């Protein structure tokens, strides 16, 4: 019997960490087997700033997902975001020695490898190299060059760049949590897989994912990713403004925002008031809902205007680049009342809220089709595409292998020692490694990138 392809996505957000285990059912839909959620400590604006706390939060989410599903997680696909992410447009070409030979996958890989060698700013590293349109001997707008003939193969690329140290910190947290890293995906790309339809991507659409610490943007046109950006503001700054503006504690500010908050101040009457209990026997505080909405409105307008500046930078006002499908809002911030109307008012573009339910199996829990889980669902879909066998049933694990009282870091250390012993034996016997250099070149850039992080982590031990 063929092994089930069990996929695991890990969304390391600023407010929450979600581990999601899923598989494809017989109808090709995503069946969620278990979800673990923990409060994210040690992450600010999408970047890890406290490794110990992040490891604890990851372990908590992983543990909960394992308990809910009955599966043991081996590796995960992780989403990467943060204000250090930037994207650039780049054009490159290769000259082929034999124009009479058919263009194949190896030619495109050669071109992608060439872009990967681009000189970046110090401390930056390329995360994704996404080909857009190809040009062969001057003939432009070719979407699929394989099978064609030509001497000069040229392509425009969307290159996503991030800070190497931030990416490695994420890798360090995951390995120290006792699991492996099987892939990295830019969070707005993962969210777009979960909530956008192919028709929208063809027509032209901007996906805005409003998270706790960052707001991510991904723009598609003609089915191709055209622009990505990460804006270092999200739902948390709205809560901070409420906290300062109403002189209340953080917890109360967050509750007020979720329960009574609205992005449109006009809908609240002047006499609508919420009473908040005072601290340690102090008098309760009365807060006008109109004032609350004004505070939220001011900050949301700022976030949306920054995103709209990015949409204009892509060239939305050019008739050929027009985003016909408008804007899709997702992420926790998309649940704010009247945010859809406010975004339409500011941008003049059609807007809808993006729910990741299109790809979920019919019997999925209602909770998982919330915009909150868009990134996690997208990461699981990404893991399924990679054909990763990321989790095994707990009842399939041999009893002697389970050592519940051992901390994950020791387990990792022990595994390294075992691997080193194997390497010593191999070098003595001059035994050939299973994977040849040819195979390594064939593997996607992404796998090699993950290997690079693993090597770095291993050497840092």
Given this model, what pLDDT does residue 436 score? 40
Q: Are 209 and 191 in contact (CB under 8 A)?
A: yes
Terminal CA-CA length for the chain: 39
For residue 146, tell me if it sits in a domain: yes
Given this model, what pLDDT does residue 441 score? 40
Given this model, what pLDDT does residue 427 score? 52
Residues of the chain with pLDDT under 50: 1, 401-403, 406, 408, 425-426, 429-443
* Residues spanned by the domain of 145: 86-165
Given this model, what pLDDT does residue 440 score? 40
Q: Are 149 and 189 in contact (CB under 8 A)?
A: no
For residue 97, tell me if it sits in a domain: yes
For residue 231, tell me if it sits in a domain: no
For residue 402, tell me if it sits in a domain: no
Given this model, what pLDDT does residue 431 score? 43
Given this model, what pLDDT does residue 395 score? 75
Handedness of CA 304, 310, 311, 317 (dihedral sign): positive
- Separation of alpha carbons 30 and 357, rounded Å: 9
For residue 113, tell me if it sits in a domain: yes
For residue 138, tell me if it sits in a domain: yes
3-state secondary structure 139-206: EEEECCCCCCCCCEEEEEEEEEEEEHHHHHHHHHHHHHCCCEEEEEEEHHHHHHHHHCCHHHHHHCEE
Q: Are 164 and 124 in contact (CB under 8 A)?
A: yes
Q: Which of 170, 239, 247 is nearest to 12 (CA)?
A: 170
* Total domains, the chain: 1
Given this model, what pLDDT does residue 454 score? 65
Given this model, what pLDDT does residue 430 score? 47
Is residue 442 helix, strand or coil?
Answer: helix
Match 């909405």 to its residue by tokens.
293
For residue 155, tell me if it sits in a domain: yes
The CATH number covering residue 97 comes to 3.30.1490.110
For residue 107, tell me if it sits in a domain: yes
- Separation of alpha carbons 248 and 382, rounded Å: 41
């Amino acid at each position: 019997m063929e092994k089930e392809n069990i996929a695991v996505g890990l969304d390391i957000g600023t407010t929450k960490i979600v581990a999601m285990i899923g598989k494809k059912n017989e109808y090709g839909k995503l069946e969620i087997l278990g979800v673990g959620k923990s409060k994210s400590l040690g992450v600010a604006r999408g970047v890890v700033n406290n490794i110990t706390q992040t490891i604890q939060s990851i372990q908590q989410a992983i543990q909960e997902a394992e308990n809910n599903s009955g599966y043991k997680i081996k590796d995960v696909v992780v989403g990467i975001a943060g204000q250090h992410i930037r994207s650039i447009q780049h054009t490159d070409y290769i000259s082929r020695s034999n124009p009479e030979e058919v263009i194949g996958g190896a030619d495109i890989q050669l071109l992608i490898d060439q872009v990967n060698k681009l000189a970046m700013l110090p401390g930056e590293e390329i995360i994704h190299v996404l080909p857009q349109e190809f040009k062969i001997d001057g003939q432009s707008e070719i979407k699929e060059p394989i099978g064609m003939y030509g001497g000069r193969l040229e392509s425009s690329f969307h290159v996503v760049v991030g800070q190497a140290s931030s990416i490695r910190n994420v890798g360090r947290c995951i390995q120290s949590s006792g699991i492996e890293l099987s892939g990295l995906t830019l969070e707005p790309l993962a969210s777009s897989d979960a909530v956008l339809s192919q028709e929208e991507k063809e027509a032209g659409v901007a996906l805005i994912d409003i998270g706790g610490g960052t707001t991510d943007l991904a723009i598609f046109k003609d089915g191709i990713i055209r622009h990505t950006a990460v804006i270092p503001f999200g739902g948390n700054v709205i809560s901070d403004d409420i906290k300062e503006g109403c002189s209340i504690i953080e917890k109360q500010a967050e509750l007020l925002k979720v329960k009574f908050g609205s992005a449109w101040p006009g809908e609240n009457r002047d006499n609508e008031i919420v009473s908040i209990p005072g601290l340690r026997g102090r008098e309760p505080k009365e807060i006008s809902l109109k004032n609350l909405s004004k505070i939220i409105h001011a900050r949301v307008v700022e976030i949306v205007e920054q995103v709209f500046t990015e949409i204009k930078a892509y060239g939305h006002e050019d008739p050929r680049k027009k985003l016909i499908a408008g804007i899709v809002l997702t992420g926790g911030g998309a649940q704010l009342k009247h945010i859809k109307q406010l975004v339409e008012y500011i941008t003049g573009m059609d807007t809808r809220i993006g729910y990741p339910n299109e790809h979920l199996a019919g019997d999925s829990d209602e909770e998982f089709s919330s915009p909150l889980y868009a990134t996690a669902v997208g990461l699981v879909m990404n893991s399924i595409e990679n054909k990763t066998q990321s989790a095994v049933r707990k009842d399939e694990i041999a009893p002697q292998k389970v050592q519940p009282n051992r901390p994950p870091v020791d387990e990792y250390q022990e595994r390294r020692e075992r691997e080193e012993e194997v390497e010593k034996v191999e070098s003595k016997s001059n035994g050939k490694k299973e994977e040849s250099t040819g195979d390594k070149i064939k593997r996607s850039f992404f796998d090699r990138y993950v290997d690079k992080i693993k090597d770095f982590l291993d050497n840092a031990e």
